[in-house]
Amino acid sequence: MRTIYLDNNSTTRVAPEVFAAMEPYWREQFGNPSSLHRAGQAARHAVETAREQVAALIGARPRDIVFTSGGTEADNLAILGTLAAAPTKRHIVTTAVEHVAVHGLCERLVREGYRVTFLEVDPFGRLDPARLERALDDDTAIASIMYANNETGVILPVETCAEICAARGVPLHVDAVQAAGKLPIDAPGLGTALMTLSAHKIHGPKGAGALYVGRRARLRSVHVGGHQERDIRPGTENVPAIVGFGAAARLAAERLAGGTWQGVAALRDRLERGVTGQVPFARVIGDREHRTPNTTNIGFESLEAEAILIALSEQGVCASSGSACSSGSLEPSHVLKAMGIEERIAHGAVRLSLSCETTEEEIDEAVGVIVSVVKRLASLSAVTG
C-alpha cells in the first residue's frame, strides 16, 4: 500500500539534493570547524556557506544567523537569552497559540515568578495587534509572537507587531518555523530582533535550526562552553546537519521564487472542498484568508481525532492532530482551546499539511479515504451512542 504523507507541518522528507550535500560531511569531510588545519577549515567553509544560504532565505546578513539544534532550542535561546541580558525586567508577552517550545517555556517562567501575558486570539485564530500594544509596559523584556501557527496555518500580523514593539523599545521574537520557505520573509525589513527557523520543516534534516539575531537583539548565551556561534551558542557545530539546512534553505528559496506554493494552495483548497463538500459534519478551523498555503485543520464534529488518525493511517494516509493523549482521554490542543473552538469539534480536529511534493492524484485519493473513514466512524458512534 502506498503512503500519502499529509503531515508536513510535523516534518518533511529530506530532499535528495539535501541528502547529497550532507553525505560527504558524514564521511571524509569530518573536520571540526574550530580546527586550524585543512580538514577543519573545509568544515568551517561548509558551515559558512550554509550560513549564507539560510540568511538568504530571510534576507538577513550571514553573521546574524546562529545555528542551533532545532526550532525548539532557538525558541528557548531567544527568550531565555533575552531575559538573561535584561535581568531587571520580569514581564513577557506572547500569544495563547504559540508552539509548546514557546508556550511551555512561558508557563514555566510563570512558575518561576515572571509575569507573562498570553494574548488572546479570536475564533479564527487571529490576533488583534492592539492587544499587544496594551500589554507592553516598562517591565516587558521580550514579546514572542509566531509568524504562522503550526496547527491551523493561520498567519499572525507580525509586521504590525514589530512596529509596535519597536516603538516601545521591546525586542520581538518571531517563531517563523512554519512560515519560512512558504512565505517571503525579510527579517531585517520586518524589524524583528529575533527569528526562529527549523531545517526539517523545509526538507532539511532533523536536529538543525537557527536563530536570527538582528541588530535590535540583546542576548546572553544560556549554555557555557567554547566560542562557537559568536559565543551565543557554544558547542561543536553539527556540520552535516548545518550543511543540509543550507541546501534545504537554497531549495526553499528557489521554490518560493518559482511560485510553487500557489499550486500547493490550490491542492489544499481542493482537499478542503472535497472533504467538506461530502461530509456535512466537517468544519474548517481557522482563518482561511491568511494562512500558510499548505495547511488545513478540519474538525469532524462528535468524532475523536485519534480514531480518525489511526483509521487514516491504516489506509495509508498520514495526518495529525494537535491533541495530546493524557491519561487515556484526548485533550484538545491549547491552540484550539484558545480559539474557543467547541469541544465537540476540537476533539475531532485533524491537521492535514501538504508539501511541494504532494500531487493532485494523492489529494484525490486522500479525499476518498478521509470521507469514507469519517463517515464510517460517524455511523459507528451513532450506533454505539
- Give the residue, chosen from 33, 71, 129, 244, that forms a contact with ligand PLP under the rule CB under 6 A: 71
- Confirm or reject binding of residue 7 to ligand PLP (CB under 6 A): no
- Confirm or reject binding of residue 177 to ligand PLP (CB under 6 A): yes
Closer of 6 and 42 to ligand PLP (Cβ): 6
Q: Locate cell 539544534: which residue?
A: 69
161 included as an active-site residue: no
Closer of 91 and 200 to ligand PLP (Cβ): 200
Give, as one character, the DSSP assignment of residue 368: H
Kindly indicate which of the ranges 125-133, 170-178, 181-189, 339-347 contains the residues binding ligand PLP, using the contact rule CB under 6 A.
Answer: 170-178
Least Å from the CB of residue 167 to ligand PLP: 26
Instruction: In whole angstroms, give the CA distance from residue 242 to residue 249.
Output: 10
- Give the residue, chosen from 8, 25, 53, 70, that forms a contact with ligand PLP under the rule CB under 6 A: 70
Residue closest to ligand PLP when measured from CB atoms: 71
- Confirm or reject binding of residue 96 to ligand PLP (CB under 6 A): no
Query: Among positive and negative, which fits the CA dihedral 85, 86, 88, 89?
Result: negative
260-278 helix and 239-257 helix, angle to the nearest 10 degrees: 80
What HEC string does 103-157 produce? HHHHHHHHHCCCEEEEECCCCCCCCCHHHHHHHCCCCEEEEECCCECCCCCEECC
Q: Locate cell 508557563: which residue?
A: 107
Residues 329-348 that bind ligand PLP (CB under 6 A): none
- Give the residue, chosen from 171, 181, 204, 209, that forms a contact with ligand PLP under the rule CB under 6 A: 209
- Confirm or reject binding of residue 117 to ligand PLP (CB under 6 A): no
SS3 state at 180: strand
Least Å from the CB of residue 198 to ligand PLP: 3
Q: Locate cell 450506533: which residue?
A: 383
Phi, psi angles (nearest 5°) of residue 6: -120, 45
Kindly indicate which of the ranges 28-36, 173-181, 277-285, 335-343 contains the residues binding ligand PLP, using the contact rule CB under 6 A.
Answer: 173-181
Instruction: In whole angstroms, give the CA distance from residue 100 to residue 151.
Output: 11
Instruction: Point out which residues bind ligand PLP (CB under 6 A).
Output: 70-72, 75, 99, 101, 146, 150, 175, 177-178, 198, 200, 209
